[in-house]
Structure 1
Amino acid sequence: MSHRAPAMLARMVKSRATLPLLLACASVLAPAASAQQPTQPVQPAMQGQASQGAVVERGPARFTVLTPHLIRMEWAENGRFVDAPSQVFVNRAQPVPAYTVRTRSGVLEIQTDALTLTYRIGSGRFDKSNLRVRSRRLKPAFDWHPGDPESGNLGGTARTVDRYSGDRHIDSGEKLDLGQGLLSRAGWHVLDDSASFLFSSDPWPWAQKRACADCQDLYFFGYGHDYRRALSDYASVAGREPMPPRYAFGYWWSRYWNYSDREMRELVNDFERYRLPLDVMVVDMDWHRTDGLSWDERHVQRDVFGQSVGWTGYTWNRSLFPEPGKLLAWLHGKGLKTTLNLHPASGIPSDEETYPAFAKAMGITGGAPVPFEAADPRFVRNWFDITLDPLTRAGVDFWWLDWQQWADSKAMPGLSNTWWLNYVFYSHMQRTEAERAMIYHRWGGMGNHRYQIGFSGDSVISWPSLAYQPYFTATASNVLYGYWSHDIGGHFFAETTPVSERQIDPELYVRWMQFGAFSPILRTHSAKEAGLRKEPWRFSPDVFAVLRDTIDQRYRMAPYIYTAARQAYDSGVSIMRPLYYDWPEEAHAYQTTGEYMFGDDMLVAPVTAPMKDGVANVSIWLPPGRWYDTNRGELVSGGRTVERDYRLEEIPVFVRAGAVVPMYPESVRKLQKADDRNIVVRAYPGGEAERRMYADAGDSERYRDGQYAFTTITSRYDDRRAAITVRPREGRYVGMAPDRQITIELPSARFPSRVTVNGRPYDRTEQASQGGWHYAGDTLTASITIPAQAADTEINVVVDFADSSARIDGLLYRMKRVRTAVDWLKNQWEPPAPLPDDVSLAAELGQLIEYHPERLDQLMQAFDARVERLAATVSRSRATPEVKARFAALIASVNDGAVR
């Protein structure tokens, strides 16, 4: 829950603590580790000092060639340069790239494959008169001098969207500032690290001020339009984007509400009753006592620190949770992870259960509250040891931090308290927990990508808010902040919204949930209003069905999403990213802000405006290449803008032609318990591809040092044949299943004439079953279910298709639209007269195919002919002119793709 206060900063001091470092810093793919290796936390060391071979020093100037595209530039009058890791750059010990150094007429020249740097030796601080970096063979070319404005920066991210409707603050009207990211259309970016704090060399590295306030510490990124290279270089030197636990990619339930033990159990039971997957239970601030809390400014009470009373708390509200340990154990028994909200600004007041021990440890007497100071190592040690860790041992899996108070630390001004809390909580969890570290807090600035997951705050419930979030989330990948979690559905109604209109718009909520399913984290949340109820079962049956299918789809995509999370760790390219990463020379890639790539193969363009006449019409720019329209079941040529219409249950998702997407079966309900034992490989038509599917233990830090596995999958799928190969799994991790059961799915498939698996023929079955193949009429999908076998064996599936002249491309869309038209007509038809036979049969094509897929060609031809007659058939009926006209328009849309 947001306190709606401005951003805060805090200061850090050097620690005498003896806690080990567990910073999420750079790592490289290592050979697979033995599955017998113990699962103690991984403790990667920060390596601030660069390799000597990368360093060129000339008096008070030092240059470090970190990569061919990244050069560090330091100036220190006393020659005392910084080798300690900084807040942003924690791993400068990179392999030394090839470069040359020469000096001519007092000018130093350093040249890499990509850059040429020149500096006039002895000319003082870096400025435009003495320092220059030019591109070599990069496009666009550049010639940079200090102070040059960076035109075309593509943005980064912001701490919060509190009280924003879209990108505009509802109180001030100001536009949200996303700051500068690493990427620019100019082809270069300079990150000034001169003012950042450094990490000490203590076992638990603590922050310390730089000794030199006037020194310069600049990092020049020169990459042209090779944006992926810039992100990869940054990840190598600033630390990898850590993988969240697998369960984090499931559904999170969150609501600001004073749930009781009984109500929470009823809520979880309802999720089970309605067959809804769920992985994370978020408990907002009412888990602790909130005595004295008031929303009315006239009644707000302030404590001795000037903070609103009731926000900070660590003592369970036992009127709501009489036995919190038992509830947490029950939630764990239901397969749920639990997080609690923290607003720590008021320190440890005297009415907290842990106060006596805490005050004694801090040397405070007389009942005075213990002040909060995250930069004080003594406070932090006691905070965890006395107050927080006992809650963790009782069953709290991770913490939801919500720092929003004063700007600067009282101990060391200038360092973000948000940033430091992220580091402290993340690294503490790494050192103390066997499970994978995860926190949930706000963006604190550059370098904070090492500590996921982001809480974006209290957005206004509005269509503009939904429309802005795809751009906001994708753009954050420009600073590697790839795991934003939004209040799906919006948080609160603007105060200007009339009370009578403060009800959830089901259409807006569905569209927001659909975006959530194709975003990094799917978490619903809302303000403390009785009418803000987002439980899916509270909506009408048709809306509930869409919501459930959306959540199910999210769970089915989990192997694809988890693989993308590993790619983000390895490459610096987040799961959700702008189109210009792949198409940097296409103007539309920069202008199209409502679309994004979700992983390597999915282009998503969420519906962010209300429907008209039952559909939302969306203009979508398709990048060059061929794309499979998952809604229509057709291949589309890219490099152009297409117009598409979407009913409430439909999501604009286009998949690269020929792609293979690993998925889970529909039976998966908990991601923390899922593994790669049961996998569905969906191969899309129109080309060929090779992809790797990733797996690990799901909740261990050992993914950093080799405990993981990859499976390479290749596919070639055209009108005549589909050939899919699942190669032997490579790698090991604790708990890895020795065998697995693979199902191949081929959407928009013609009727198979022959199916073989490793040369053995498979027969068609009426229902999907192991050792056979099935054709689903409603989805036009051929599926081949292969019995479980050892994961180190190769599987080769070959499907030959019967020759056909019938039009299957786009048939899925035509089927759906005809069903929609017939359903509408049934509700307008006057009984007792039956619908004409052609009308009824046209809506039954999917079922007819299900019964007789071997007649697919004949059924498709008969369907197309029947659709041509439908409008005329109804026009000869006794229906009203209005009904005839509307039905004719619906049928016309079957072919032209837009409701008239």
Structure 2
Amino acid sequence: MKRLLSLAIMAIGLAEAQAQDVKVEFITPSIVHVVKGQPTKTLVITAKPEQVKVVKKGNITSSSELTVKQDAKGNLTFLTAKGKVLLREKNCDVKEARQTFTLDKDEAIYGLGTIQNGKMNRRGEKKRMEQSNLEDFQNVLQSIKGWGIYWENYSPTLFEDNANGMTFDAEVGDGVDYYFMYGKSADGVIAQMRYLSGDVPMFPLWTYGFWQSKERYKSARETESIVDQYRALNVPLDGIIQDWQYWGSNYLWNAMDFLAEDFSNGKQMIQNVHKKNAHFMISIWASFGPMTQQFRELDEKGLLMPFETWPQSGISHVWPPIMKYPSGVKVYDAFHPEARAIYWKYLKTLYDYGCDAWWMDSTDPDFFNPKESDYEHKVYGGTWRSQRNAFPLETVRGIYQAQRKDDKGKRIFIMTRSSYAGQQHYGSNMWSGDVNSSWDMLRKQVPAGLSYSLTGNPNFNTDIGGFFCGSYNTKGSGSAPKNPQFQELFVRWMQYGLFCPVFRSHGADAPREIWQFGKKGEPIYDAIEKQIRLRYRLIPYLYSTAWQVTSNNDSYMRPLFSDFAADKNVWNTTDEFMFGHSILAAPIVNPQYTEEKIIRTDAMTGWNRQDVKGENAQGVDWSATKTATKYLPKGTTWYDFWTGKQYKGGQNVTLETTIDRVPMFVRAGSILPLGPEMQYVGEKKWDNLEMRVYPGANGSFVLYEDEGDNYNYEKGAYATITFQWNDSKKVLTIGDRQGNYPGMLKTRTFTIVMPNGQQKQVEYSGSKTEIRL
């Protein structure tokens, strides 16, 4: 048995426990850093240890919040200050970078990343955690008991929970390195992870509108025409996305300039989009073709990686790929600061053209036919294997930090396919990859997004309708939007996407613009338009929630146990979630009008067009009323958003449903702001917001406003108005406006609306006002 050394304690400052090479350091009274062997050179942690007062009694070290006890074998036990056991270490192999923990028998654990298996609880899970197109990992796990772990290791890691315990087993490492966080709740753990790795900057206000995309618009004329048609139809739109190959051939892959003949004046295209009151996002990658300037400069400096990546063939217009003409495309070493600087030097061309946002594709990155030599390739800070999972963090951070230095008054908005811990601090929103178009995959997106949010990263979205819809093209290429099976799936996916921070339609195999599904007055078209219009009405609520995400460590998408942990019925709920603190989103994730079509593909088989064609459903009566059963968490009263009907929590309720209506509820005590319908964010002022008040409990809401698209809010240029509802007195108090910013509304009207239809208009000039209802 190894000889144990006594605990060495500092009365004020950090506390360290050494048993051979075990080190325990209090970062805060409720966060402990544990290192056995050599610590990881961090790419994630930005917090510095606080001056924490600790007390030592024998082998026990305590702060005001947390106690760490070491047994004779060197294993640690984490306890509350009152002595309640939170988590125990069981076995450790320092040389193998492996640590096992013991959990309670029925203890639920959550997080890790976007695992696409439809589950919330990670008990019984076995998963090799390596970034990929469809699954991404942040190494952050939390328990229903209110503790969390961040496993500080960037190599692929096997996570396994079984009868022997819960284990993290890294492929590379000179020791075990992790952070134990006692947040007391899901929100508390998220707040501590952000304390360690960075807060969440505000996205521009316009990013919360509707985004249209597809794989891909093939000319500048086509891209502009999409915006034109949305405007002509009076359907709201705020963003258009230009996907790949605007640069020309695959040998010019990711040249970061408009080199294709059909994009001969890309700068003018962007200006034209802006004149139409829309914003422009463009696809960029973590790899470069051999004829690009970036490739040549990076290659000269040894900053390219040797492995095979997308695209594999240099011939871009032929499918399947002609492999005898390899593309030569290589991924850059995003870990190297010089490589990141070169990346931004060329990306600045598009920035100067006026691009508003970046679509960073393949930030996993794509890594085909991996060889051992690829994994052992030297990168900045280690080997490809040792740094592998942190690649998305480094490439996104490189852009964020460079653009902040070259600020043109635009907040940074990056949509990326992959993410690692800490990435929330660098202006990024992750989407769930090239998912297929199926009900099974739609169902999986809900827990995948919630699991991602539980790692501290709040910004998540999916390709609405699924990326690969080719199996629905039963009447020729691109016919899926006319297929009732796909129409129903698409509408229900829209109704889920309504409650994601980014609301974006995208996919391959068929276009997804609203007019592809019919015309105004037809049920599917009208259902899609209804969701878009509702999204715009919700933007004041959503933007105010964004401020709480930034200032108060909140989340947009909240698993039900975040707010109702005492209700065990919600611990494993995968088809409902809270959208902010007020709205219970209960999207329909099973077909009601057509038969479910089982489609199973992964990203590669999807790209290889191996979908199986199905039958086209005929004769669907979209006007028929259906039913759905949803569970309402106990501990509060709930209101149907659409009807105002009250329900007591703690029960299943059966609802009448229609194709154009998503089930959603509002908890008692909520104050919900609804904005005007508009064609784009900023078209209309928020000078007459509808404030819905839901009685049955006391409640409050902070309405947040700022300039919408710069970082002046960081200097205090914003305003808040606090609304408080006193349920016993039936009084709504609108508080004094706090703060100001250029262009702020000085006077306005609030229309107060109760579930029973009662309304009252209130003129407001910034001073405290009370309204009796």
TM above 0.5, one fold? yes
Q: Which moved more, 1:562-571 or 1:552-561?
A: 562-571
Select 2:674's aligned residue among 644, 660, 663.
663
Matching of residue 436 in structure 1 with residue 411 in structure 2? yes
Matching of residue 90 in structure 1 with residue 98 in structure 2? no
* 1:714-753 equivalences in 2 (<5 Å): 714-716=724-726, 723-749=731-757
Offset of residue 158 of structure 1: 4.1
2: CA distance between counterparts of 1:676 and 1:532? 30
Read off the aligned partner of 1:116 and give its amino acid letter.
T
Read off the aligned partner of 2:77 and give its amino acid letter.
R
Is the 2:75–2:88 contact (alpha carbons within 8 Å) kept by the matching residues of 1?
no
Is the 2:118–2:447 contact (alpha carbons within 8 Å) kept by the matching residues of 1?
no
Read off the aligned partner of 2:539 and give its amino acid letter.
A
Specify whether residues 52 and 283 from structure 1 end up closer, same or farther in structure 2 by C-alpha distance, changes over 3 A only: farther
1: CA distance between counterparts of 2:61 and 2:302? 53
2: CA distance between counterparts of 1:158 and 1:63? 26
Matching of residue 134 in structure 1 with residue 134 in structure 2? no
Is the 1:713–1:724 contact (alpha carbons within 8 Å) kept by the matching residues of 2?
yes
2: CA distance between counterparts of 1:449 and 1:261? 32
2: CA distance between counterparts of 1:497 and 1:570? 46
Matching of residue 341 in structure 1 with residue 283 in structure 2? yes
Select 2:393's aligned residue among 397, 402, 419.
419
Select 1:282's aligned residue among 241, 247, 258.
241
* 1:351-500 equivalences in 2 (<5 Å): 352=292, 372-385=332-345, 387-403=346-362, 404-406=365-367, 410-412=378-380, 413=383, 414-415=386-387, 416-433=390-407, 434-451=409-426, 452-493=428-469
Offset of residue 74 of structure 1: 3.3
1: CA distance between counterparts of 2:591 and 2:330? 51
Show the counterpart of 1:267. Answer: 226
Residue aligned with 1:588, SS: helix
Residue deviations 1:547-574, cap 9 Å, x none?
2121111111111111112222233331
Structure with max Cα Rg: 1
2: CA distance between counterparts of 1:175 and 1:425? 23
Residue deviations 1:135-168, cap 9 Å, x none?
344777555555324464533254686xx99999
Residue aligned with 2:698, SS: strand
Show the counterpart of 2:149. Answer: 190
Show the counterpart of 1:148. Answer: 101
2: CA distance between counterparts of 1:192 and 1:688? 40
Is the 2:288–2:295 contact (alpha carbons within 8 Å) kept by the matching residues of 1?
no
Which blocks of at least 5 consecutive residues in structure 1 are unaligned? 1-50, 198-211, 292-308, 750-781, 800-900
Offset of residue 320 of structure 1: 1.6
Matching of residue 258 in structure 1 with residue 203 in structure 2? no
Higher relative contact order (CA 8 A, sep 6+): 1
Is the 2:422–2:457 contact (alpha carbons within 8 Å) kept by the matching residues of 1?
no
2: CA distance between counterparts of 1:677 and 1:594? 36
* 1:752-767 equivalences in 2 (<5 Å): none
Show the counterpart of 2:32. Answer: 71
Is the 2:223–2:242 contact (alpha carbons within 8 Å) kept by the matching residues of 1?
no
Offset of residue 361 of structure 1: 9.8
Is the 1:279–1:672 contact (alpha carbons within 8 Å) kept by the matching residues of 2?
no
Read off the aligned partner of 2:451 and give its amino acid letter.
T
Matching of residue 550 in structure 1 with residue 531 in structure 2? yes
2: CA distance between counterparts of 1:474 and 1:577? 6
Matching of residue 633 in structure 1 with residue 644 in structure 2? yes
Matching of residue 110 in structure 1 with residue 61 in structure 2? yes
Is the 1:160–1:443 contact (alpha carbons within 8 Å) kept by the matching residues of 2?
no
Offset of residue 53 of structure 1: 3.5
Select 1:703's aligned residue among 675, 688, 713.
713
Offset of residue 359 of structure 1: 8.6
Is the 1:374–1:420 contact (alpha carbons within 8 Å) kept by the matching residues of 2?
yes
2: CA distance between counterparts of 1:549 and 1:658? 27
Residue aligned with 1:738, SS: coil
Read off the aligned partner of 2:32 and give its amino acid letter.
I
2: CA distance between counterparts of 1:445 and 1:390? 27
Identity within the alignment, %: 24
Is the 1:289–1:315 contact (alpha carbons within 8 Å) kept by the matching residues of 2?
no
Select 2:570's aligned residue among 570, 581, 589.
589
Offset of residue 244 of structure 1: 1.8
* 1:584-623 equivalences in 2 (<5 Å): 584-611=565-592, 614-623=624-633
1: CA distance between counterparts of 2:701 and 2:303? 59
Specify whether residues 58 and 511 from structure 1 end up closer, same or farther in structure 2 by C-alpha distance, changes over 3 A only: closer
Offset of residue 191 of structure 1: 2.8
1: CA distance between counterparts of 2:518 and 2:259? 28
Residue deviations 1:707-764, cap 9 Å, x none?
322211123579xx95332222102334433333322223322xxxxxxxxxxxxxxx
2: CA distance between counterparts of 1:289 and 1:384? 20
Q: How many residues get paired? A: 651
Offset of residue 519 of structure 1: 1.7
Is the 2:724–2:733 contact (alpha carbons within 8 Å) kept by the matching residues of 1?
yes
- Tell me the TM-score normalised to structure 1 length: 0.66
Read off the aligned partner of 1:728 and give its amino acid letter.
D
Is the 1:676–1:695 contact (alpha carbons within 8 Å) kept by the matching residues of 2?
no
Is the 1:621–1:641 contact (alpha carbons within 8 Å) kept by the matching residues of 2?
yes
Matching of residue 100 in structure 1 with residue 81 in structure 2? no
Is the 2:119–2:447 contact (alpha carbons within 8 Å) kept by the matching residues of 1?
no
Specify whether residues 410 and 275 from structure 1 end up closer, same or farther in structure 2 by C-alpha distance, changes over 3 A only: farther
Offset of residue 425 of structure 1: 1.5
Is the 1:315–1:353 contact (alpha carbons within 8 Å) kept by the matching residues of 2?
no
Residue aligned with 1:423, SS: helix
Read off the aligned partner of 1:398 and give its amino acid letter.
A
Residue aligned with 2:190, SS: helix
Offset of residue 355 of structure 1: 7.9
Residue deviations 1:830-853, cap 9 Å, x none?
xxxxxxxxxxxxxxxxxxxxxxxx
Read off the aligned partner of 1:565 and give its amino acid letter.
A
2: CA distance between counterparts of 1:52 and 1:330? 64
Matching of residue 512 in structure 1 with residue 493 in structure 2? yes
Q: Which moved more, 1:507-516 or 1:142-151?
A: 142-151
Show the counterpart of 1:793. Answer: 767
Matching of residue 646 in structure 1 with residue 654 in structure 2? no
Is the 1:150–1:189 contact (alpha carbons within 8 Å) kept by the matching residues of 2?
no
1: CA distance between counterparts of 2:680 and 2:236? 6
Select 2:201's aligned residue among 242, 262, 284.
242
Offset of residue 318 of structure 1: 4.5
Show the counterpart of 1:15. Answer: none
Read off the aligned partner of 2:285 and give its amino acid letter.
H
2: CA distance between counterparts of 1:176 and 1:454? 11
1: CA distance between counterparts of 2:464 and 2:628? 21
Which blocks of at least 5 consecutive residues in structure 2 are unaligned? 1-9, 92-99, 128-132, 157-171, 305-327, 368-373, 594-620
Offset of residue 363 of structure 1: 12
1: CA distance between counterparts of 2:707 and 2:293? 37
Residue aligned with 1:316, SS: coil
Matching of residue 577 in structure 1 with residue 558 in structure 2? yes
1: CA distance between counterparts of 2:640 and 2:628? 13
Offset of residue 641 of structure 1: 1.3
Show the counterpart of 2:480. Answer: 503
- Tell me the TM-score normalised to structure 2 length: 0.76
